[in-house]
Structure 1
Amino acid sequence: MERTHLPLIPEPILRRHHVLENHDNRFRTNVRLLQAFWRTGRELRIGRHTAADGTKRLLGSRISNTAGRAGGNFMSAEIARLVYREHTYREPWSNYDEQRLWTNLLSSQPLVFNAFGPLRLDPTLATAMLRAICPDLADATADAVLFEHSPGRGVAELTGDHTAWDVAITYTREGGARGIVAIEVKYSESGWEPVKELRSRYAELMPATGLFLDPTAPELRRAPIQQLMREHVLLQATIARGDYAEGRFIVIAPQLNRPMQSACRRYAAQLAEPAEGKAGFGVVTLEAFMAAMRKVGDEAYSDALFDRYIDWSQIDDAIEESFLASLAE
C-alpha cells in the first residue's frame, strides 16, 4: 500500500536518539531521526547544538566538527573530495553555510552534493539522468553540472541580487540549441523559512517575464513561494539575455514533505500557461530522482542514498521495537 503520511514518533524514541526538537513538524521529525540512524550506522561522532544563550546539547542529526572536516556528511570519499574542490573554487559571492554543509546531516546542502555529485563526476550519467528526469530532452547531452550556480550575482540586467540555484545542468540538443535545467533541492524545509526582502528590480522584471497570471500578486512575494519565484524569474531573465535558447526550473523534494509539496502547488497555480521562450516549471519527487538514478546509474550508491534520506521502513522498525519493548516491561 502506498504510504500517504509519516508517523508521530513516540517521544522516548526521539529522546533516545537526541532528536526531540519541539519546533519540528511531523516530516522534519521523521527525517531528523533518519539522519540520526545514518550517523549511528556510520559510527560518526555526534555533534552539538549551541543555543542562543550559549548552552550546548547533543543533537543526533549533527556530526562533530572533526567528523565534518573529515567529510563525514557525504556518501563517499569521492563525493567529499568533490565538495572540497567545489567549496574552494566556488563562484564569486556564492553563499555556503559552513555548519550546514559540513556537520548538519539534515541540511539540503549536503544532499545536493550527495545526489548530484555522481553526475558531476560522470558526464555519461549526467546525460542519462537529465533525460530520465526530463523525458522530453531525449535528444539532449549534458554539458556541465554546476553547484550553487548563478549566471550573474548582483547583475542589474538579471535580478540584481544574489539569488542562485542549488544545482544546474546545462545541455545541448541535437540541433545545437543550448538549454539549462535549474534545480532547487528541498529535504526537510517547509517553504515557510524567513524570506528575503525583494529588490526594486523585481517590480519591473516580474511582469516582463510573462511567467505569471498576475505578477503583482502579493503571494508571490512572501512565504512559502517567494524563493521559487525568485529562482524562476532569474532563469527567465537569463534566457531573455540570450544565455540559453530554453530552460526549465525544477524543484526536487520528498513526496511526503507535504508542506513543501503544497508550496510547489501554490506556486504552480500562479503561473501563466506555458509558452515558447518561457522557462517551464516542474516538480520531481526525491523518490523519483533516486529511482531514476538506480535505473541508469550505480545501484549500490542509489540504494545507500535511499537508505539515508527516505527509507521510512527504518522508522517503522524503531516504532515496532519500542512498542514490543514496552509490552515486555
Structure 2
Amino acid sequence: MTVSDANLPWTSSEWRERNDSVWQRTLRLQQSWWRQTRTGMAAGPSTGGTRLVSSMLPVGTEWSPNLMTPAAVASARRARLDLETERRPGIIQIDRLHRNLLSSQPLCFNLFGHLSAEPSTLLEWVRTFHHDAESVDCVRLEWAPLTGNTGGSAFDAFVTYTRSGGARGFLGIECKYAENLTKAQPRPAPEKFKVETVNGPWREGAETRLDRPSLRQFWYNQLLTQRVAAGDFTSGIGVVVACHDDNPARRAVEAVRTELDDPSSLRFSSINDVIDAVPGHERWRRAFTERYLTYDQIPARLAQDNEPPGRQSADPAHVHRS
C-alpha cells in the first residue's frame, strides 16, 4: 500500500511497513506519534525516494527538530567537521540526522551529543563500569582511531575517563534503537576479522560461532574496542546502549560476551541507565524520555485516538522506566 496523504493520522494502518517486526512497528508508531503531536509536521519521503514514511520528516527539514537541543546540533556539526578535517573512519548521514526519526544515529546525538558539552555529567554512569573513575575527560561522536582500524568502522560515541592513580579508560559505545539485528550484517565476516579473533582475547572457535548476521556488528565493534585498548589506554569496555526492552540486542550482547576471555569487557546498558545517572538537565531528560522511551503507552494512545470525540481522556503521565 502506498500512502498519498502526508497528513494522514499517525494511527492509520496505511502507514504500516510490511517488513517491520513487532518491536520496530511499536517504535515507528512512537516516532510517528511524536512527529504529529509534538512537531505538527507532515510525514516525509524515504531517503532518496518518493514513498511517504510515517517516521520521516519532510524534505528540506534541517538539524531541528530531529536533533532536539542546540547542544545536540552543535555536536553533530562538530562531528561532521572532525570527520572531514581529521579524515577518520566514520559516517555522518546528513539526511538521516535531519529527517529520520527512527534512526539510532540522531538518537545518539540527542543523548551523548547533548551531554558532550559537559562530559562530567556522565561520571556517575561511567562509575557503573569502573567505580574508581574520577573524571570524564572527553565525549566524541562517530569516533575511530586514525590508524590500526582494519574494519573502517567507528564508535557511535567514545567516552574517555581517568581512574584513580591516573589510569586512562574508555567506553566504546554502539547505540541501537529500532534496527533489525538479523539484517544488520548479512555478509560473512572478512577473513581479516577471523584472523584477528583467533589471535585475540577470544575463546577458541569464536570466529566461527560469531559469524552470524545478528552478532557480527557487536563482534566487529568489540574488535575495534580491543584495538583502541591496546594503544594509550589502561582499559577499554565496549558498551551497547539500547532500550531496556530491546531483548534481541540484549541476547546478541550476551552471545558475544560469552565468546570473550573477559566477558566484562563488553556490556549492555539501557538508555534509562544513562539518563537516570545524569544530574540536572531535567528539561532535556523529560523531552528525551517522552520522545524515545514512552513506547509502552502506544496501545493506550491508539485506543484513545480511536475513541469518539468528546470521550478522549488526557494522555497518561506514566513514563517507561527500566
1:74 and 2:67 correspond: yes
Alignment equivalent of 1:264, drawn from 253, 266, 287: 253
Contact 2:104 2:177 in 1 (8 A): yes
The corresponding residue for 2:287 is 304
Displacement of 1:190 in angstroms is: 2.7
Give the whole-Å Cα distance in 2 for the aligned partners of 1:15 and 1:37. 8
1:306 aligned partner, one-letter code: T
Displacement of 1:288 in angstroms is: 2.2
1:58 aligned partner, one-letter code: L
Displacement of 1:147 in angstroms is: 0.9
Structure 2 unmatched ranges of 5 or more:
1-7, 312-322
| TM-score (norm: length of structure 1) | 0.82
Cα deviation, 1:282-302, whole Å, max 9, x if unaligned, reads 101122223223xx2312211
3-state SS of paired residue (1:317): helix
Q: Which moved more, 1:74-83 or 1:169-178?
A: 74-83
Contact 2:173 2:240 in 1 (8 A): yes
Structure 1 unmatched ranges of 5 or more:
1-11
Displacement of 1:236 in angstroms is: 1.2
Displacement of 1:142 in angstroms is: 0.9
Give the whole-Å Cα distance in 2 for the aligned partners of 1:273 and 1:81. 37
Alignment equivalent of 1:187, drawn from 144, 160, 177: 177
Displacement of 1:70 in angstroms is: 4.3
Displacement of 1:230 in angstroms is: 1.0
1:236 and 2:226 correspond: yes
Alignment equivalent of 1:286, drawn from 256, 263, 271: 271
1:210 and 2:193 correspond: no
Give the whole-Å Cα distance in 2 for the aligned partners of 1:27 and 1:201. 34
- Judged with a 3 Å threshold, the aligned counterparts in structure 2 of structure 1 residues 259 and 215 are, in CA distance, closer, same or farther, namely closer
The corresponding residue for 2:241 is 252
Give the whole-Å Cα distance in 1 for the aligned partners of 2:135 and 2:18. 46
Contact 1:250 1:283 in 2 (8 A): yes
2:151 aligned partner, one-letter code: D
- Judged with a 3 Å threshold, the aligned counterparts in structure 2 of structure 1 residues 86 and 247 are, in CA distance, closer, same or farther, namely same
Alignment equivalent of 1:177, drawn from 167, 175, 187: 167
Cα deviation, 1:66-97, whole Å, max 9, x if unaligned, reads 22x14221112332233122222225242122
Cα deviation, 1:250-280, whole Å, max 9, x if unaligned, reads 1011122222222222222323345xxxx70
Q: Which moved more, 1:207-216 or 1:12-21?
A: 12-21
Cα deviation, 1:25-58, whole Å, max 9, x if unaligned, reads 011111111111111212234211268xx6x232
- Judged with a 3 Å threshold, the aligned counterparts in structure 2 of structure 1 residues 105 and 57 are, in CA distance, closer, same or farther, namely same
Q: Which moved more, 1:110-119 or 1:306-315?
A: 306-315
Contact 2:184 2:217 in 1 (8 A): no
Give the whole-Å Cα distance in 1 for the aligned partners of 2:46 and 2:65. 17
Displacement of 1:177 in angstroms is: 0.9
Contact 2:30 2:291 in 1 (8 A): yes
Percent identical pairs in the alignment equals 26
2:198 aligned partner, one-letter code: P
1:53-202 equivalence runs, <5 A: 56-67=50-61, 69-90=62-83, 91-92=86-87, 93-131=89-127, 133-134=128-129, 136-152=130-146, 155=147, 158-195=148-185, 198-202=189-193
The corresponding residue for 1:3 is none
Cα deviation, 1:79-120, whole Å, max 9, x if unaligned, reads 223312222222524212232222100000000000012321
3-state SS of paired residue (1:73): coil
1:239 aligned partner, one-letter code: A
3-state SS of paired residue (2:142): strand
Count residues in correspondence. Answer: 298
Contact 1:19 1:29 in 2 (8 A): no
Give the whole-Å Cα distance in 2 for the aligned partners of 1:104 and 1:50. 8
The corresponding residue for 2:214 is 224
1:42 and 2:55 correspond: no
- Judged with a 3 Å threshold, the aligned counterparts in structure 2 of structure 1 residues 281 and 313 are, in CA distance, closer, same or farther, namely closer
Contact 1:44 1:72 in 2 (8 A): no
Give the whole-Å Cα distance in 2 for the aligned partners of 1:17 and 1:59. 12
Give the whole-Å Cα distance in 2 for the aligned partners of 1:142 and 1:18. 47
Contact 2:188 2:212 in 1 (8 A): no
2:283 aligned partner, one-letter code: A
- Judged with a 3 Å threshold, the aligned counterparts in structure 2 of structure 1 residues 137 and 17 are, in CA distance, closer, same or farther, namely farther
Give the whole-Å Cα distance in 2 for the aligned partners of 1:42 and 1:322. 17
